[in-house]
Amino acid sequence: MDELYKLTIHQAAQLLRQRSLSSVELTKACLQRIEQIESKIRACVTVCPDIALEQAKEADRLLQSGETIDPLAGIPVLIKDNICTKGIKTTCSSKMLQNLIPPYDATVIKRLKARNAVILGKTNMDEFAMGSSTENSAFSPTRNPWDLDRVPGGSSGGSAAAIAADEAIYALGSDTGGSIRQPAGFCNVVGLKPTYGRVSRFGLVAFASSLDQIGPITKDVTDCTLVLNAISGHDPMDSTTAPYPVPDYTKALVPDLKDLRLGVPREYFVEGMQPEVRATLETAIRKLEELGAKVDTDVSLPHTGYALAVYYIVAPSEASANLARYDGVKYGYSYQETDNMWEAMEKTKQNGFGAEVKRRIMLGTYALSAGYYDAYYLKAQKVRTLIKNEFDEIFRTYDALVTPTSPTVPFKLGERIDDPLQMYLSDVCTLPVNIAGLPAISIPVGFANGLPVGMQIIGKPFDEETILRVAFAYEQATDWHKRKPKI
């Protein structure tokens, strides 16, 4: 069988169970694929063939003896490089951590390992997850497999590009303001940001702790449910995880939308949205209607326009606190050419962090400083509550909301990197979801000028099932997710 790397989790799991495929074969196929195309895509920061093949052998042993029938057993995965992996470098694509080998696994990694997942390596990202294009990586930008001159989105651009290019069967990303959904949309793959508190953040290098969540990036919606089943749930190591039981998300995969009430908030069709993206979304929304959903296109969330401002106060404020730990003393890069402690700390940060990270730290410390705290941080938190309340209110009428994932198709490398405001605008449609702590998924819904377009489906807190149902029904009725880039 050639092109094994193209398989989805559920396809590969079936072949593994039938023993017509081994995990070692599948793992080798992915490793070869990585070797073949990485010079073009640059989705990976670290690849660890030895560890992967060792894990694959063990998975094969368990699968063959019948000791496991887990759908993730023996399936190769790539992990965003801000998720700690014991014994495997975790760099956050930053010079600050470029030699950091964590002594422990993040909870999500423990959970994947408990199911005998095969870890191929770590994916490139915007430094400390700050960015929307993966150009802020200290190592190299990642390229969009659909057009190598364009960005894959960010900050989980490495994970999304890797899955679009079939370098692994699935990947994990993290999403603080859109970093799973926006790159998923840009690369024609499925990406889900879970409800805040659904998935443990233990071992996720913190960017903005009240917004960050880890989630799956997959080739289809079925795979998304399988990964979500594995990583969700309460964790004693993360007190912000919710004690709610984890449903079997595969049960949400029913192919019709009868009686489902969907709202389309008009504020998400922003000024500056590309007309082809709008047209693609409109066609997708009509498809949801055909599938039985009651779609209301006259919905309003009037505070949406404030989300960007709220996010760029709250996220940098939290980041400035979280990143204070990189002082060159405990771990990470350390400037050594001085006996003066203050100079050492200053130079450590100056040399260790890239421009965007420094910008965020400065914005955050400013917003939190005496005299400005009330005017910026406190005000932002109040507006955050208004945004959250507005969603609560609208969800009394609708089961889920449907919006574009991004107002544009992937832009060219270099096009926005010198214009932070333009870059920040890439996330207008995804940020409000993190501010309100809601779950949302991006799925492929077509192409505009030959480039992928994503649709975002937003759900009630802890109602991942409904957005998965909408996503699955749409996916069953279309085949956009099956289109592959020519590399």
Q: What is the contact surface with ligand GLN in residues (CB under 6 A)?
A: 129-132, 155, 175-179, 207, 315, 427
Spatial contact of 155 and 212, defined as CB atoms under 8 Å apart: no
Helix (H, G, I), strand (E, B) or coil at 479: coil
Helix (H, G, I), strand (E, B) or coil at 458: strand
Closest CA to 123 of 97, 150, 155: 155
* 138-141 CB contacts, 8 Å cutoff, 24+ apart: 138/91, 138/93, 138/94, 138/95, 138/98, 138/354, 139/45, 139/91, 139/93, 139/98, 140/42, 141/42, 141/413
Q: Of 133, 179, 232, 320, which one is the catalytic site residue?
A: 179
Tokens of 445: 């819904």
Which residue in the block uniquely carries the two structure tokens 């409904």?
A: 466
178/459 with CB nearer ligand GLN: 178
- 451 φ/ψ angles, rounded to the nearest 5 degrees: -115, 150
Give yes or no: 80 in active site.
yes
Spatial contact of 122 and 88, defined as CB atoms under 8 Å apart: yes
Got the DSSP string for 1-13?
---GGG--HHHHH
- Residue-level length of the chain: 487
**Per residue in 117-127, is it b (16+ CB within 10 Å) or e — as a string?**
bbbbbbbbbbb
* CA 32 to chain CA mean position, Å: 25
Report the Cα–Cα distance between both ends of the chain, in Å, rounded.
20
Q: Of 22, 28, 80, 219, which one is the catalytic site residue?
A: 80
Spatial contact of 130 and 360, defined as CB atoms under 8 Å apart: yes
Distance CA 65, CA 239 (A): 38
68/132 with CB nearer ligand GLN: 132
Distances (CA, A) of 254 to 183, 221, 486: 26, 11, 32
Tokens of 137: 């990586």
Cβ neighbours for 169, distance < 8 A, ≥ 6 positions apart: 5, 7, 8, 9, 12, 26, 30, 75, 76, 77, 219, 223
Closest CA to 104 of 126, 119, 116, 86: 86
| Smallest separation, CB 175 to ligand GLN (Å) | 5
Spatial contact of 392 and 272, defined as CB atoms under 8 Å apart: no
Spatial contact of 438 and 222, defined as CB atoms under 8 Å apart: no
Distance CA 168, CA 409 (A): 24
Give yes or no: 179 in active site.
yes
Which residues are the active-site residues?
Answer: 80, 155, 179
